[in-house]
Amino acid sequence: MLPEARVRRGRGPGLARFGGWNARRRALRNLKFLLAVALITACGSCRGSEQAGEEAFVAERSVTLWTSLAQVKEPVTSVRYGERVEIVARQNDQAKVRTSTGVLGWTEQRNLMESALWHRARDLARSALSMPVQAQATSDKLTNVHIDPGRTSPRIYQLRSGTRLEILGRATADFTRGGAEETGTAPAGAAVSSPPATGETRHEDWALVRAHDDPAGDLAGWVLRRFVKFEIPPELLDYSTQYRFVAWFELGRVPTGEPESPPKAKGQRAPREAPGPPESAQNESAPAPAEKPQFLVAGIQGPEGQPCDFTLIRVYTWGAQRQRYETAYVESNLCGSLPIRIQSAEAAGANAAFMFTNRGRAGEEHREYTMHQTSVHRTDNRRPLRGRH
């Protein structure tokens, strides 16, 4: 019994030492786990409110991705406007992104557009494809394109000077002097923060435009109206000094005709015509008569920021006798809303039509007009609308 008891007693201290080592090992493993959780939580708070792996889109024409944030770094690749990337890390105002080909690199967060804003911009571009064009224009300088009218609205693109534009609509937005400035340097994908207002508030005109630009493709958005140069037809330039053009359209075409012959002096004989080919031969070789367009113009007088898109309409046609453009129709004191829709004449001398919504004393009304040759008449029933169409 004594030897067996000695053996049993000899096992006790060894087992105790083995059990203590296991406990220390478990404690060390738990400590490592807690440290890892704390580190992940701390890094998550450093990244901000957005999670790693968030979808984003390139918001500038071309963006270079870099190997690191160090002063000595190398370019990895370049990505273009609209390319999808995945944000995998953030540090201050920098973001580490993964491209669609799996390349990793760092760039400024201002060069990226959040997913929700990007999809709003694409929806606007798609819906703009079916909107009727109201005027042709170009960007007069480096111009920011916003998702909504207003200087504090997020920027979705930047147009270079001279980009061709199609005007689709108009809106107004408030602007306070000393607030957000439209300088063309605001970061993409973010609203412009406004400093405390120091001056009076005024209303500004904004234009909804459609454009096709490389590398963005088809795009649409709101631009400050004064940054847009309207491409008024040369035939109407003299009239553009009388009021501000808002929209214009070609309704049809009319023959130019022959200029009016000057009166002959008393007793003066008509000059003899040189002999020519028979009349049938003349008709075969005679060119088709030249034609001149007829125009509908909507305009406005006074300062910008008015509640009406346009306050007057004019129709101009070519006068064959005087060989110049003349006013065929005048209507003022309107409060019209864009868009104006037209049905152009299919041939010279055929009827044309146009229509728009006007806000009058009796409320909103739908107006329709028909033009026959050089005469314009209103053809709707002149009843106010109960709701906006």
Q: What is the mean pLDDT of the chain?
A: 82
Residue 98 and residue 158 in one domain: no
pLDDT digits (tens, 9 = 90+) for 75-131: 999 999 999 999 999 999 999 999 999 999 999 999 999 999 999 999 999 999 999
Residue 389: is its pLDDT beyond 80? no
What is the per-residue pLDDT across 335-377, written as a single tens digit (0 to 9) for each? 999 999 999 998 877 899 999 999 988 889 999 999 998 899 9
Same domain, residue pair 252 and 325: yes
Q: For 18-29, what is the mean pLDDT?
A: 66
Q: Residues 291, 238: one domain?
A: yes
Q: Which residue has the tokens 């049905």?
A: 343
pLDDT of residue 134: 98
* Cβ proximity of 239 and 316 under 8 Å: yes
CA separation for the pair 171, 222 (Å, rounded)? 9
Residues 344 and 238 in one domain: yes
Q: Tell me, yes or no, whether 118 lies in a domain.
A: no
Q: What is the pLDDT of residues 173-228, one digit of tens each?
A: 999 876 555 555 556 665 554 445 556 888 999 999 999 999 899 999 999 999 99
Q: Is the distance from CB of 203 to CB of 174 less than 8 angstroms?
A: yes
**pLDDT-derived band at 2, boundaries 50, 70, 90:** very low
Query: In which domain, by residue range, is 146 found?
Result: 129-174+201-229
Q: How far is CA 153 from CA 57, 133, 214, in A?
A: 18, 24, 23
Look at residue 49 and tell me whether its pLDDT is greater than 50.
no
pTM: 0.75
- The predicted pLDDT at position 50 comes to 42
Whether residues 151 and 211 share a domain: the answer is yes
Last residue of a domain, one of 229, 246, 272: 229
Query: Rg of the chain's alpha carbons, rounded to an integer?
Result: 36
* Of the candidates 311, 172, 300, 325, the residue with the CA atom closest to the CA atom of residue 242: 300
Which secondary structure element, helix H or strand E, spans residue 325, and what is its range?
A: strand 324-331
3-state SS string over 269-328?
Answer: CCCCCCCCCCHHHHHHHCCCCCEEEEEEEEEECCCCCCCCCECEEEEEEEECCCCEEEEE
pLDDT value of residue 147: 98
**Residue 294 phi, psi (nearest 5):** -105, 140
The answer as to whether 19 is a domain residue is no
User: Where do runs of H (alpha helix) occur along 83-239?
Assistant: 115-128
pLDDT tens sequence across 312-323: 999 999 998 889
Q: What is the pLDDT of residue 212?
A: 95
Query: Quick one: 313 and 222 in the same domain?
Result: no
Other C-beta atoms closer than 10 Å to the C-beta of 375 total: 11
Residue 107 belongs to some domain of the structure: yes
Neighbouring CB atoms inside 10 A of 198's CB total 9
**Would you say residue 65 lies in a domain?**
yes
d(CA 315, CA 369): 11
Residue that finishes a domain, picked among 229, 247, 275: 229
Average pLDDT for residues 134-157, to the nearest whole number? 96
281, pLDDT greater than 50:
no
Distance CA 128, CA 339 (A): 12
Number of domains in the chain: 3
Is the distance from CB of 195 to CB of 247 less than 8 angstroms? no
Whether 327 maps to a domain, the answer reads: yes
> If you ran DSSP here, which 8-state letter would residue 384 be given?
B
